[in-house]
Amino acid sequence: MKSARNMAIFLDRDGVLNRAIIKHNKPYPPGNLEMVEILPGVDDALRRLKVAGFLLIAVTNQPDVTRGTQRRENVEEINTYLLGKLSLDDILTCFEDGDDPRRKPNPGMLFEAAQKHHVDLLKSFMVGDRWKDIEAGQRAGCTTVFINNEYNERPPSPPADITANSLADATPTILADDHN
């Protein structure tokens, strides 16, 4: 008997779920739990997506751990907090720097989550606020959603399937998508 294939929403963490720390118009992760602020509308958006039948899986690059500018314990504490506060099913983290197969823009974390949770990538979405998130989603075969936080960096190329100003703004379009 074949196992069921789930639909998922893959979500970048910093800048999509929680507020990124902006320095010189570039995003950085919060340094500790006290700096974490869940973005407005995220909790409600995730509940609506969950009710619609999506698995909710965060996939986050955290290379500052390997670079020595962030403690792994802080990243894990933030992830545990978000798992407890939001309707997330899982958070996958890549701590590596450089061209690791799991590190976005590579799609390794999406492939890993798809195997672990029996996800149909072609019926799933990748939501991110940086070109690396969108490229990872495209390479995995997902519909991509770009949260345009107007950072001082290159936009996704090719462009995302959907562009919005926040996860809350993108949710009605995701729910109306007819390929699911």
- Domain 13-121+137-176 is found in CATH 3.40.50.1000: yes
Neighbours of 28 (CB within 10 A): 16
**Nearby residues of 23 by Cβ (< 8 Å), 6 or more positions away:** none
Find the catalytic residue in 14, 64, 129, 133: 14
133 is catalytic: no
On the question of pLDDT at 147 being above 90, the answer is: yes
Q: Known catalytic residue: 14?
A: yes
Q: Which of 12, 64, 133, 161 is catalytic?
A: 12
Mean pLDDT of the chain: 95
Tell which residue, 110, 27, 90, 101, has the closest CA to residue 64.
Answer: 27
- Mean pLDDT in residue range 2-9: 77
